[in-house]
Amino acid sequence: MQESKPTDSVKVGIDKINFYTPNHYLDLIDLAEARGVDSNKYLVGIGQSKMSVAALDQDIVAMAANAAEAMLTDGERQEIGLLVVATESGIDQSKAAALFVQDLLKLTGNLRAIEIKEACYGATAGIQLACDYVRSHPGRKALVIASDIARYGLDTPGEVTQGAGSVAMLVTRDPAILVIEPESIYESRSTGDFWRPNYSTVAFARGKFSEEVYVGMFEELWEKAQELGLANPENLQALLFHIPFSKMGRKGLRTLGNGKISEADYARLTERFEHSIVYGKEVGNIYTGSIYLALLSLLENDNSLKPGDRIGLFSYGSGSVAELYFGTLQPGYRQRLDADGHRTLLDNRERLSMSEYEAMFSAELATDGSQQDLGRSDPAAGAPHYLASVKDHERQYR
Ligand code: HMG
């Protein structure tokens, strides 16, 4: 049984949200052809159409800063007292990625800067920590950035579910987008469904098993939410899922079919689910940011939601930690969105040939301390932050 968090009258949640993805992608029809697979397996069976590919200069620090840069005012930079970078693609075993990001975003020194890791659940841990922080620190804000590069390796079953990108969220009191409820349902359980040892640049997965754990934990949390009266489907206007690939979220949602909830509720959640996967289908798995990319995709591609609508979020991180939590859309949330800007970001990416993708995937930073200067992968798109070089085992950003 979960304990209830103390409810209090202070409203906290997501006040701003933005995302960044590198400016190269692989079309999955090209991948299917190269791997000798029927393209419908990727387009329909997996449910993805493209995946973003990161060049060396867009590591998780550069992407994180690029996601947050455009959305922060000077005043907000002064008010941020907690900076969380959630990632499972960390660049250092000791120094938090958040410290590089703090520097690039010119935040003050008067803040806690930390990195959080728990596979794709990390950003949700960051959001919950941030909500608690702003509840207990009047006048301060928290910046949570999910930043990851999903890598399984060339010609592996997971290859089609790779991707790269970051989602930045400003968590405040009286937020403009989503008030997050203090009560939620969560569970941690050690499983061997997906992992990446320190010596490996690619993840290992027991693919089918990982799908079973994901679906099983969703079903358990949904049941608990029913028992606690937290997830009355009639009062739920949308249900978001962690989206490693769109079919996975669909499998979670389908567990509510077959009479578990009314046909009308299931139809409404399914229609909204389609809007939540628009961006992810073109970006791929961005691990811990995926569910927040789904949130952004829903808000920017759905015209029927309105302030006051309640949304459920099922966050899953392999290994495994899952949480089901809820939030309510706020008046004026649409003014905070940038659907045109995000569509342009996606449409302006350069399509890679298979050989260009394989070369980009296989490129590595020097590990012997020598100096390596990197070219800019997107001089035209002009991402403000990038990794310029490595020297003496240190990354130098601009
Ligand atoms: P696979 O071996 O290619 O799977 O691996 P498959 O052969 O079963 O095919 C996949 C689907 O395509 C199946 O549909 C086929 O029927 C269908 P399903 O039964 O699943 O509904 N299919 C076709 N459909 C239409 N036309 C066709 C056709 N052919 C086949 N011609 C797998 C797929 C996802 C397992 C693999 O890509 C993988 O291992 N991915 C990585 C692991 C993963 O993403 N797991 C998801 C759950 S765990 C999670 O979400 C956490 C994670 O994000 C990590 C973290 O937390 O940090 C991964």
Q: 353: which 2 tokens?
A: 């040939």
Q: Give pLDDT, residue 375.
A: 87
How does 359-383 read in b/e, with b if 16+ C-beta sit within 10 Å?
ebbeeeeeeeeeeeebebbbeebeb
291-317 tens-digit pLDDT: 999 999 999 999 999 999 999 999 999
pLDDT(19) > 50: yes
Kindly state whether residue 228 falls inside one of the protein's structural domains.
Answer: yes
Q: Is there a single domain that holds both residue 168 and residue 38?
A: yes
DSSP states of 238-276 as a string? EEEE--SSHHHHHHHHHTTTTTTS-HHHHHHHHHHHHHH
For residue 93, the CA-to-ligand 1 centroid distance in Å is: 31
Which of 24, 242, 275, 342 is catalytic? The answer is 242
Q: Which of 179, 204, 229, 183 is nearest to 332 (CA)?
A: 179
Q: Give pLDDT, residue 73.
A: 98
Q: Give pLDDT, residue 39.
A: 98
Provide mean pLDDT across the span 107-133: 98
Q: Give pLDDT, residue 329.
A: 98
Q: Is there a single domain that holds both residue 156 and residue 44?
A: yes
For residue 76, the CA-to-ligand 1 centroid distance in Å is: 41
For residue 245, the CA-to-ligand 1 centroid distance in Å is: 8
User: Which of 290, 315, 332 marks a domain boundary?
Assistant: 332
Q: Is there a single domain that holds both residue 299 and residue 375?
A: no
* CA pair distance 53, 283, nearest whole angstrom: 9
Please give the number of the atom of ligand 1 that sits closest to the Cα of 159. 37
Q: Ligand 1 atom 1: the closest Cα is on which residue?
A: 157
Q: Is there a single domain that holds both residue 346 and residue 247?
A: no
Q: Is there a single domain that holds both residue 246 and residue 295?
A: yes
Provide mean pLDDT across the span 47-57: 98
pLDDT(49) > 60: yes
Number of domains in the chain: 2
Which of 24, 69, 79, 88 is catalytic? The answer is 88
Confidence of residue 258 (pLDDT cuts 50, 70, 90): confident
For residue 214, the CA-to-ligand 1 centroid distance in Å is: 12
Is 211 an annotated catalytic residue?
no
Q: Ligand 1 atom 32: the closest Cα is on which residue?
A: 207
| Average pLDDT value over all residues in the chain | 96
Ligand 1 pocket, residue 119 CB under 6 Å: yes
Ligand 1 pocket, residue 318 CB under 6 Å: yes
Q: What is the CA radius of gyration of the chain?
A: 20
Q: Is there a single domain that holds both residue 93 and residue 143?
A: yes
Q: Is there a single domain that holds both residue 32 and residue 166?
A: yes
Q: Is there a single domain that holds both residue 341 and residue 328?
A: no
Residue in 155, 195, 204, 318 to alter for ligand 1 test, most ligand atoms within 8 A of Cβ: 318
Q: Give pLDDT, residue 154.
A: 98
* CA pair distance 18, 73, nearest whole angstrom: 13
Please give the number of the atom of ligand 1 that sits closest to the Cα of 206. 39
Q: Is there a single domain that holds both residue 292 and residue 385?
A: no
Percent of the chain with pLDDT over 90: 95
Domain that holds residue 306: 185-332
Kindly state whether residue 49 falls inside one of the protein's structural domains.
Answer: yes
For residue 46, the CA-to-ligand 1 centroid distance in Å is: 6
Q: Is there a single domain that holds both residue 157 and residue 200?
A: no
For residue 1, the CA-to-ligand 1 centroid distance in Å is: 32
Ligand 1 pocket, residue 81 CB under 6 Å: no
Is 88 an annotated catalytic residue?
yes
Q: Is there a single domain that holds both residue 312 and residue 382?
A: no
Q: Is there a single domain that holds both residue 174 and residue 282?
A: no
Residue in 39, 43, 46, 292 to alter for ligand 1 test, most ligand atoms within 8 A of Cβ: 46
Tell me the CB-side half-sphere exposure of residue 365, using CA atoms within 13 A.
Answer: 22
Q: Ligand 1 atom 4: the closest Cα is on which residue?
A: 157
Q: Give pLDDT, residue 379.
A: 75
User: Which of 298, 332, 366 marks a domain boundary?
Assistant: 332
Q: Is the dihedral of CA 99, 101, 103, 109 positive or negative?
A: negative
Residue in 148, 161, 193 to alter for ligand 1 test, most ligand atoms within 8 A of Cβ: 161
Q: What 8-state DSSP symbol labels residue 330?
A: -
Q: Give pLDDT, residue 7.
A: 52
Q: Give pLDDT, residue 378.
A: 83
pLDDT(3) > 70: no
Is 131 an annotated catalytic residue?
no
- The single-letter code of the amino acid at 289 is G
Kindly state whether residue 389 falls inside one of the protein's structural domains.
Answer: yes
* CA pair distance 185, 222, nearest whole angstrom: 9
For residue 321, the CA-to-ligand 1 centroid distance in Å is: 20
User: Which of 332, 347, 362 marks a domain boundary?
Assistant: 332
Kindly state whether residue 7 falls inside one of the protein's structural domains.
Answer: no
Provide mean pLDDT across the span 212-220: 98
Ligand 1 pocket, residue 161 CB under 6 Å: yes
Ligand 1 pocket, residue 122 CB under 6 Å: no
Q: Name which of 20-24, 215-219, 257-261, 370-374 the model is least confident about.
A: 257-261
Separation in Å, CA 275 to CA 250, 296, 327: 12, 10, 18
For residue 191, the CA-to-ligand 1 centroid distance in Å is: 18
- Tell me the whole-structure pTM to 2 decimals: 0.97
CATH number, domain containing residue 316: 3.40.47.10
* CA pair distance 108, 233, nearest whole angstrom: 43
* CA pair distance 375, 378, nearest whole angstrom: 9
Provide mean pLDDT across the span 2-15: 73
Confidence of residue 332 (pLDDT cuts 50, 70, 90): confident
Please give the number of the atom of ligand 1 that sits closest to the Cα of 248. 46
Kindly state whether residue 6 falls inside one of the protein's structural domains.
Answer: no
Ligand 1 pocket, residue 120 CB under 6 Å: yes
Alpha helices in the chain (DSSP H): 28-35, 39-40, 60-69, 74-79, 97-104, 122-136, 207-227, 246-254, 263-276, 278-283, 290-301, 339-347, 354-362
Kindly state whether residue 38 falls inside one of the protein's structural domains.
Answer: yes
Measured distance between the N- and C-terminal CA atoms of the chain, rounded to whole angstroms: 48
Confidence of residue 8 (pLDDT cuts 50, 70, 90): low
Provide mean pLDDT across the span 148-168: 98
Kindly state whether residue 1 falls inside one of the protein's structural domains.
Answer: no
Q: Give pLDDT, residue 2.
A: 47
pLDDT(151) > 90: yes
Kindly state whether residue 4 falls inside one of the protein's structural domains.
Answer: no
340-383 tens-digit pLDDT: 999 999 999 999 999 999 999 999 999 999 999 998 998 766 78
